């Protein structure tokens, strides 16, 4: 069944193993049939909690002044609006700015050519300094 006698080498007689693929094919076909039967029965839905519709209109919050803009320049310098600051000063300056405005929103702007890692480091510093929402500024490509 799984062996044969070799007649090519008369000095060495004995059984040599052969691979019988029939049981492997049987198992694969049975698995194929099982998956074909089970797949249509799989649940293809999920639950989503949708909030109730409110009749009252919610007005967006109006700001008297725009949020502060943190700018990272190519040379590594930082500016909050127009003031030049050092990265070590962010932990002191940003909480005061957020406390004065009452809204921890910051706009982040980086010049072209600034490395992604440096931009992420500065945004992490801003987040650690109390910025809850960081909006990334973008410019049109020319």
Q: Where are the domains of the chain?
A: 69-136
CATH number belonging to domain 69-136: 3.30.420.270
- Please give the order of strands across the beta sheet that includes 78-80: 83-85, 78-80, 69-72, 105-110, 133-136
Q: What is the pLDDT of residues 95-113, one digit of tens each?
A: 999 988 888 899 999 998 8
Tokens at 73, concatenated: 């320049």
Q: Which residues pair with 108 in a beta bridge?
A: 70, 136
Nearest to 86 by CA among 101, 96, 76, 95: 76
d(CA 61, CA 44): 40
DSSP state of 12: S
Which contiguous run of DSSP H or E holds residue 17? strand 15-17
For the stretch 42-99, pLDDT in tens is: 777 767 777 787 777 767 666 678 889 999 999 989 999 989 999 898 899 999 999 8
């Amino acid at each position: 069944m799984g062996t044969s006698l070799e007649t090519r080498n008369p000095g060495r007689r004995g059984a040599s193993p052969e691979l019988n693929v029939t049981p492997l094919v049987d198992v694969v076909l049975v698995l194929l049939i099982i998956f074909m039967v089970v797949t249509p029965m799989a649940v293809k839905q999920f639950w989503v909690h949708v909030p109730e519709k409110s009749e009252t209109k919610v007005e967006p919050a109006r700001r008297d002044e725009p949020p502060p803009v943190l700018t990272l320049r190519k040379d590594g310098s930082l500016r909050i609006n127009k003031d030049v600051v050092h990265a070590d000063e962010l932990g002191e300056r940003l909480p005061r700015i957020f406390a004065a405005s009452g809204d921890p929103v910051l706009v982040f702007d980086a010049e072209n050519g600034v490395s992604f890692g440096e931009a992420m480091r500065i945004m992490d510093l801003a987040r650690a300094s109390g910025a809850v929402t960081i909006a990334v500024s973008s410019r049109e490509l020319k």
